[in-house]
């Protein structure tokens, strides 16, 4: 009986996490979108009124990460003031706007604006979504579900590589728009993070959320203990002095953690993976390969997905450091 309850609770948490990471799936689509669409937009058979230039494509590629710089502080602030759930829905709404523009206004300025809006949404994908997944997960699943974010992102890249070379431009945008719209509707039925509910004084709702996620009665010992633990964490957080940049630098332990985080992120960013995913098909085309550039791009995306999937399934067994 206990085993069946554990399996039921795990399924609910995994399902909730998968639904929550759909915006990251859409972000993966946005990253890989230029690989199949860029050459098409520059070709004589472009769906635009005139073929786009290399400069237009470059601005479209740059608009997404540049806008994400603005999206990160916005969603960091908003998630603590309007809730994780609303912010996740907002991310998908921004994606809906982006795909609608790409579908209806195929001109350089509009496409660049659409990519910028997608960049704002990207900020939420890596601020709100991981926090939400962490806060709805129990300790034994937290590592695996937390790494799910990157796996789903790579899955989105593969999806756009495959769909991009199989159907027309208009069908592409319609499919991606449908995914984002469906998520807006479905996520309305997902629970709010119990941590945020406690933060705004909704202890009863927080207990009900934990009860549903764990598959237990709200008066169960596990639920009561988790509520007490979250309340203690909230109390400690409120009593902690406000963190400033200077205090981070002065505190050796905090600065060491910051340094390691920055090094890891710099290694990932400077590896060129973002540029490769944006221009994968174009890179293979210029290399003069006899294979289809889009097919080779799909193969690269598949390798990235395999690496991310391995991290997801092995992180709890081997630890965070080994998987890095």
Q: Please tell me the predicted confidence (pLDDT) of residue 110.
A: 96
DSSP letter (8 states) at residue 215 = T
Q: Please tell me the predicted confidence (pLDDT) of residue 312.
A: 61
Instruction: Please give the class, per CATH, of domain 18-190+272-323.
Output: mainly alpha
Q: Please tell me the predicted confidence (pLDDT) of residue 220.
A: 87
What's the rounded Cα separation, in Å, for the pair 129 and 135?
10
Q: Please tell me the predicted confidence (pLDDT) of residue 121.
A: 95
Q: pTM, whole model, 2 decimals?
A: 0.84
How confident is the model over 295-305, as pLDDT tens digits? 777 777 777 77
Q: Please tell me the predicted confidence (pLDDT) of residue 1.
A: 44
Per-domain residue ranges of the chain: 18-190+272-323
Which of 1-10, 16-25, 100-109, 252-261 has the weakest average pLDDT? 1-10
Q: Please tell me the predicted confidence (pLDDT) of residue 230.
A: 87
Locate tokens 């999806």: which residue?
159
Q: Please tell me the predicted confidence (pLDDT) of residue 290.
A: 72
79-83, 91-95, 240-244, 248-252: which has the highest mean pLDDT? 91-95
Name the residue with higher pLDDT: 69 or 313: 69
What's the rounded Cα separation, in Å, for the pair 44 and 278?
21
How confident is the model over 166-198, as pLDDT tens digits? 899 999 999 999 999 999 999 999 999 999 999
What's the rounded Cα separation, in Å, for the pair 182 and 155?
18
Question: Quick one: average pLDDT of 71-84?
Answer: 92
- Band (319; pLDDT cuts 50, 70, 90): low
Q: Please tell me the predicted confidence (pLDDT) of residue 175.
A: 96
| Reduced 3-state DSSP string for 135-164 | HHCCHHHHHHHHHHHHHHHHHHHHHHHHHH
How confident is the model over 209-227, as pLDDT tens digits? 999 988 888 888 888 888 8
How confident is the model over 1-28, as pLDDT tens digits? 445 555 556 888 999 999 999 999 999 9
What's the rounded Cα separation, in Å, for the pair 193 and 85?
7
Q: How far apart are the first and last CA of the chain?
A: 37
Tokens of 123: 């900020």
Q: Please tell me the predicted confidence (pLDDT) of residue 324.
A: 52
């Amino acid at each position: 009986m206990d085993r069946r309850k554990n399996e039921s609770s795990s399924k609910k948490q995994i399902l909730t996490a998968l639904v929550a990471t759909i915006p990251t799936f859409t972000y993966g689509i946005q990253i890989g979108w230029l690989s199949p669409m860029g050459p098409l937009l520059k070709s004589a058979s472009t769906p635009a009124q005139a073929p786009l230039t290399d400069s237009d494509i470059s601005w479209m590629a740059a608009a997404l990460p540049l806008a994400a710089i603005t999206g990160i502080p916005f969603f960091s602030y908003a998630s603590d003031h309007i809730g994780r759930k609303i912010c996740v829905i907002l991310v998908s709404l921004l994606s809906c706007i982006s795909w609608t523009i790409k579908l209806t206004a195929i001109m350089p300025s509009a496409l660049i604006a659409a990519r910028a809006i997608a960049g704002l949404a990207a900020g939420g994908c890596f601020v709100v979504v991981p926090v939400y997944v962490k806060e709805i997960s129990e300790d034994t699943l937290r590592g695996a579900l937390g790494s799910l974010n990157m796996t789903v992102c790579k899955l989105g890249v593969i999806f756009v590589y495959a769909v991009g070379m199989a159907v027309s431009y208009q069908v592409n945008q319609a499919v991606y728009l449908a995914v984002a719209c469906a998520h807006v509707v479905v996520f309305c039925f997902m629970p709010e993070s119990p941590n945020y509910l406690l933060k705004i004084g909704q202890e009863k709702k927080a207990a009900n959320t934990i009860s549903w996620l764990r598959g237990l009665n709200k008066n169960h010992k596990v639920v009561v203990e988790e509520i007490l633990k979250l309340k203690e964490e909230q109390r400690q957080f409120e009593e902690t002095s406000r963190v400033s940049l200077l205090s981070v630098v002065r505190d050796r332990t905090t600065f060491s953690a910051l340094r390691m985080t920055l090094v890891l992120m710099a290694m990932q960013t400077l590896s060129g993976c973002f540029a490769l995913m944006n221009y994968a098909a174009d890179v293979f085309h210029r290399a003069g390969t006899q294979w289809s550039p889009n097919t080779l791009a799909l193969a690269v995306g598949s390798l990235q997905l395999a690496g991310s999937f391995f991290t997801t399934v092995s992180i709890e067994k081997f630890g965070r450091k080994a998987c890095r």
